[in-house]
Chains A and B, each alone.
Chain A
Amino acid sequence: NAGVMQNPRHLVRRRGQEARLRCSPMKGHSHVYWYRQLPEEGLKFMVYLQKENIIDESGMPKERFSAEFPKEGPSILRIQQVVRGDSAAYFCASSRGEGDEAFFGQGTRLTVV
């Protein structure tokens, strides 16, 4: 059973471009969480999704950021018109159910140049 898979591991984008981060949860997991870790800071909750539904997006910036978890395929975190301040490590976690242990992926390190 493979763990939570995130790709790409490293992503470089120029200011103004779009960044797409993918997360494939563990087999049998239907709950996905996205977190952002800025340099020298702790992880900050962004969004919680179940298949085809956004459950809690209270940590998502109001503009330029969106997330989805379609019926088929990975969860996608999309950042439009990236700025330098978006440079961070983005982690995805998945769990089988709401009260079950969450497992984290290795993260995607986004660098905006």
Chain B
Amino acid sequence: SQKIEQNSEALNIQEGKTATLTCNYTNYSPAYLQWYRQDPGRGPVFLLLIRENEKEKRKERLKVTFDTTLKQSLFHITASQPADSATYLCARSPQDNFNKFYFGSGTKLNVKP
């Protein structure tokens, strides 16, 4: 089966540091990898998308990398702030159905002031 895995342990970092979250996938390389943020009691909010032929994408303080050799995507938040505390979800989707996501279980990020 095609799994997508995220570290289930919470990541605790100090304000101002860079947070790095990991998403690993097995078997085949997904056409798209997307990162979402989810706050308690809320729906996921889209952050960044990276395609299989891209190595890196940036948006303000966010950066996503995609390493098809390691079968891994890394999600970075630079100059982290307490407001960045949330659960971050990685999702893959196939070429033929862009919004049919297979989500990881998410990694909770705690940014301490």
Contact = CB atoms under 8 A, between A and B. Distances in A.
B100 A56 contact: yes
Closest 7 CB pairs of A and B: A104-B43, A42-B105, A42-B103, A102-B99, A43-B103, A99-B98, A104-B44
B46 A48 contact: no
A84 to B, nearest CB: 21
Interface of B: 41-46, 49, 89, 91, 97-106
29 contacts: A4-B43, A33-B99, A35-B101, A35-B103, A41-B105, A42-B104, A42-B106, A43-B44, A43-B101, A43-B103, A44-B103, A45-B100, A45-B101, A45-B102, A48-B100, A91-B43, A91-B44, A93-B43, A98-B97, A101-B46, A101-B49, A102-B99, A102-B101, A103-B46, A104-B43, A104-B44, A104-B45, A105-B43, A107-B42
